[in-house]
Amino acid sequence: MVETYSLSATGRRADQTPAVTEFVKIGDSAGLAGSQDNAMRNGTPVLCKNPDGSQSWYTLDAERSRPGAIVLRAV
């Protein structure tokens, strides 16, 4: 299955400073609220699109994320 990014869910990498405004697009397979909850709870790697167009695997950081502000850790 090819990952799509039509939901436009975004996150910020954990190693970025707050001043950096480059967001990573979260794939549609984890972009829905229920899918995000499961990915955070289980530590499931999620394929995301970086600002430069490349793709990388990230996990959703449940401790540092809050509604509307998802923090991603590189796998």
pLDDT at 1 over 90: no
- At residue 20, the pLDDT reads 75
The pTM (predicted TM-score) of the whole model is 0.81
Q: What is the mean pLDDT of residues 38-48?
A: 90
The H-or-E segment that residue 33 falls in is helix 33-42
pLDDT at 58 over 90: yes
- Average pLDDT over the chain, rounded to whole? 87
Classified as helix, coil or strand, 42 is: helix
- At residue 31, the pLDDT reads 72
Map out the domains of the chain as residue ranges.
9-74
- DSSP class of residue 53 equals S
